Structure 1
Amino acid sequence: MIEMIIEQRRRSLGGGLDVGRVLPFAKRRMVGPFIFFDHIGPLDLAAGVSRDLDVRAHPHIGLSTVTYLYSGEMMHRDSLGCDQVVRPQEVNWMTAGSGVTHSERLEKARAVGDRIHGIQAWVALPTEYEETSPDFAHYSGADLPAWEADGVRGHLIAGAAYGLTASARTHSPLFYAHLDLEAGAAAEIPAGHSERAVYVATGEIEVAGQRLSSGQMAVLSPLASSMRATSAATVMVLGGEPVGERFLYWNFVSSSQERLRQAAEDWKTGRMKLPVGDDQEFTPLPEEARITPSTLA
């Protein structure tokens, strides 16, 4: 019932901020439309922390970034003029489409200290929406339906699952949810999508007799239907329908290699606007950036 287990790998976002990167993986680049999946923290920061930990201004095309926190705060600013803090059990959903730039700053941590812990996922846009106008939305409270039963507390971040529907606007069929399970509690894994996965952020769970611990993602077969917590655990469940082959180039996603090259040139030459109200240094295009397919041949 588990097709593959993927271990997070440590990756630097520049400065001193590292994340646990799960997707893309060489043998499994996407799950449904989810093309990037980064585990942020947990990271305890004292007041006065260096600005080097900020995610400086950088560009995207062809995807939506989905930022969700378990603890802490991050300040989002983008070239659309949006300025929005994201807090625990809230979502910043930025659709890059034809092109947008943004930064994510640890301003609360610098002021008073903070514990940063969360997930940022990238959702590839279907071909017909790759060049849609960029957009930003913030979701909180009733936008993310919550439930609690039999030792499971959940928040539905996007899509429809568990008899609920989240408010986030998506461009293709998907679901995405956060579950906190008490030790011994069992939870359903939503069906109805051709590709699904579970990711253990903390603790340990069991799926079809196989144990998964913190930092592991299990890509599931169609037969997988439930999980059980062998210790208190925080788990993300996700899935959806494939959107077709995608190419990656640094922070850009597209079905066209030529479009990726154009986006890179636009960033290098300053044709992409920086986030409004964000006067700090931007992120240069890495010299080692290269175009890679998001799926195996």
Structure 2
Amino acid sequence: LMWLLGKLAPDFKTIADFRKDNGGGIKNVCKTFVEVCRRLNMFEKPVVAIDGSKFKASNNKGNNFTPSKVKFHIDRVEKNIERYLELLDEADKEQANVTKIKATKERLADFRSQLKKLYEIKEQVEAHPDKQISTTDPDSRLMKTQGFTRVVSYNVQSAVDTKHHLIVAHDVTNVPDRGQLASMTKLAQEALRKKDIRVLADKGYFSQPDIKDTIDLGAEPIMPKTDTSSSEKKGIFNRSLFKYDANKDIYLCPAGNELQNRMQVFEQGKYLDVYFNHIAGR
């Protein structure tokens, strides 16, 4: 294509307009391409990997509002209004010149106008199901990216064939990865026209209800279980690191010590085994 065009490169506006004016055609091309690959038997035993990519929206962070952010701005503006009211009182007492008083009143009017707009935004935020609004891109949301940076963006979901590295299905969302496994699996199944596919995903997709829905669709989901334990922060071993030996009825801790079954306690209507380290004082 570059050779046919003589390396003629369209500018960003041309690309943006083309995408905007031909959205339906672009989707049909993607759909037709997957269909051609399917007819060539490229997806006989499909394994797809699902992941999300954050695409920054046109809406910058300053034009995104959450309840805490609106409150912060309202408090800031109200403090400025109080300060300028005090300045007016001082100007009256000192009989300041008219120009100074006029400038102070104009600034005070600006702050009151800002406060009115902020209260209108507050009502919109409280009424929104997500408790969040973006004034430029209404559908975009504030999301965490790598390094825990929060960016106003979209989360583009992609299902990629692991053998040929082809995108077989995609969707644009404004929610995190968790909860997207079943819906993306269904799109991949429809594109490949196969139910019994294997689906790979990272721990960000781990959700027991979503995994069940995926299995009910006829697919086989594979992903690591997310670790929500705070043990590591406390400086102690996580429960998942302890291995149970059924023959000896003991647990092996990560340090290599044996935790033997010493007693049973009755809690919440059932008996629980209690294990202790065999080393005295531990």
TM-score, normalised to structure 1's length? 0.19
For the pair shown, the structure with the greater C-alpha radius of gyration is 2
By relative contact order (CA 8 Å, sep 6+), the higher-ranking structure is: 1
- Which structure's residues are more often helix, by fraction? 2
